[in-house]
């Protein structure tokens, strides 16, 4: 029993480290949030790139609760002016995916802050 008491602080430290690593991995690598924006082609810049991503947008986006965030993402083409997008945003990587959505697919709080309807 005394041997266990000596090892207890080490066991607790290892458990805490595992919990911290798993938590950090989740929030920095796995967890993503959805943001919504509207395309404004005055906010596009052409970038020289070795891949197909020739254009970069810098737009204001909103999460489902209406919280504002400036996002940047690259595309291979100019997107349709006024189109609504749903963006998958990760903490470290930024925008990892986007898709066009219809106005009625936007959350109500997003519609409110974007002055839609």
Encode pLDDT of 31-73 as tens digits: 789 999 999 999 999 887 677 888 999 999 999 999 999 999 9
Task: Render pLDDT for 88-98 as a digit per residue (tens, 0 to 9).
Answer: 998 878 999 99
C-alpha distances (whole Å) from 12 to each of 20, 26, 56, 63, 67 are 12, 21, 47, 38, 38
The pLDDT value given to residue 45? 92
**pTM for this model (two decimals):** 0.76
Q: What pLDDT band is residue 5 in, cutting at 50, 70 and 90?
A: confident
Label residue 104 by pLDDT band (50, 70, 90).
very high
DSSP of 32-66: EEEEEEE--GGGEEE---SSS--EEEEEEEEETT-
Q: Which pLDDT does position 52 carry in this prediction?
A: 83
Distance of CA 99 to the CA centre of its chain: 13
Question: Mean per-residue pLDDT for 79-86?
Answer: 96
Which residue is it, tokens 């997003």?
A: 110
> What is the structure's pLDDT at 83?
96
Greater model confidence, 25 or 108 = 108
Share of the chain above pLDDT 90, in %: 62
Please report, for residues 4, 8, 28, 57, the alpha-carbon distance to residue 1 in angstroms, rounded to integers and kept in the order given.
5, 11, 40, 63
Nearest Cα to Cα of residue 110 among 62, 75, 71, 77: 62
Residue 84: partners with Cβ closer than 8 Å, 6 or more residues away:
36, 37, 38, 39, 100, 101, 102, 103, 105, 106
């Amino acid at each position: 029993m005394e041997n266990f008491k000596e090892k207890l602080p080490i066991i607790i430290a290892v458990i805490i480290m595992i919990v911290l690593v798993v938590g950090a991995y989740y929030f920095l690598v796995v967890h993503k949030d959805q943001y919504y924006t509207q395309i404004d082609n005055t906010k596009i810049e052409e970038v020289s790139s070795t891949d197909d991503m020739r254009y970069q947008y810098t737009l204001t986006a909103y999460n489902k609760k209406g919280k504002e965030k400036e996002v940047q993402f690259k595309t291979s083409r100019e997107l349709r002016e006024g189109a609504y997008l749903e963006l998958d945003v990760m903490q470290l990587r930024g925008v990892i995916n986007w898709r066009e959505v219809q106005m009625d697919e936007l959350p109500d709080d997003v519609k409110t802050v974007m002055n839609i309807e």
